[in-house]
Amino acid sequence: MTSPAHPEETSAYAPSATTHTTVKRAAAPEREAYVHPARLDQPALREWDFTDAAGDAVVVLGRMLGRASSVKDGHNHPEEYAEKGVRCSACRWFDVSILAVDEDDEAGADYVVYTCGRTIVPGEVDRPRFVWTSSPREVVESLVVRQDGQPKLPVASARALAQAADRDEDLADAYENRLVA
Ligand SMILES: [Zn+2]
C-alpha cells in the first residue's frame, strides 16, 4: 500500500490514476501590503505653467500627482479636420492634470485639478478649467461627467486619478470609496 503522494512530490511521471486525487495547495505566505514605489517618492516640487480660458498664464507651485490625455496620433477621417460631431482624438481630446499645491502657493488650496478640452480644429478653442480645492473628494467629483444622465469618469481622468491615488493617501481613499465606475 502506497501513501498518497505529497503535492510537492507529484511529478509529471505520476500515474494518471492519481490525478483525480485532491491536491492541497500549500497556504500562500502572508503578503505584506503592497506599496507602489511612487508612494515612496515625492514628485518634484516646481512651477507648472498653464493657460486659462482668457489666455492668461496660470502658474502653480506644486507637485504633479497625476496627468493623462486622451490624445491619439492618427486621424480617423479623410478631411483634414474632423467635422462637428465626428469624434477624432487627434483633432479633439481631453487633458487632465492633478497637482498637490505647495503651501507657499498663493491659492491656499491643497489641490488643483486642471482639465482642458483641446482642439486643433480651426474656429474652435481650448476649454481649460481649474478647480482649486482642499477636498480630496472634490478632486474626484470635479472629474465626473454626466453622460446620458449617468455619472462617468472619462478614461483620461480615471488614469490621472489612479496615478494621483498612488501618490496621495487621501486621494486614494476618496477615489476608492467613490462608486463611479
Ligand atoms: Zn482628426
| Structure-block grid coordinates of residue 138 | 472634490
| Structure-block grid coordinates of residue 13 | 511521471
pLDDT of residue 178 exceeding 70, the answer is yes
pLDDT of residue 6 exceeding 60, the answer is no
pLDDT tens per residue across span 25-66? 666 556 555 555 555 567 889 999 999 999 999 999 999 999
Residues with CB under 5 A from ligand 1 (ion): 75, 82, 88, 90-91
Ligand 1 centre to CA of 101 (Å) is 34
Ligand 1 centre to CA of 114 (Å) is 23
Alpha carbon distance 154, 96 (integer Å): 10
Q: What is the mean pLDDT of the chain?
A: 84
Ligand 1 centre to CA of 124 (Å) is 13
Strand order across the beta sheet in which 45-51 lies: 45-51, 57-69, 92-101, 111-119, 127-133
Averaged pLDDT, 70-78? 94
DSSP assignment of 57-93, as one string? EEEEEEEEEEEEE---SS--SSSSSPPTT---TTTEE
Contact criterion met (CB below 8 Å) for 107 and 123: no
Ligand 1 centre to CA of 86 (Å) is 8
State the amino acid at position 31 in one-letter form.
R
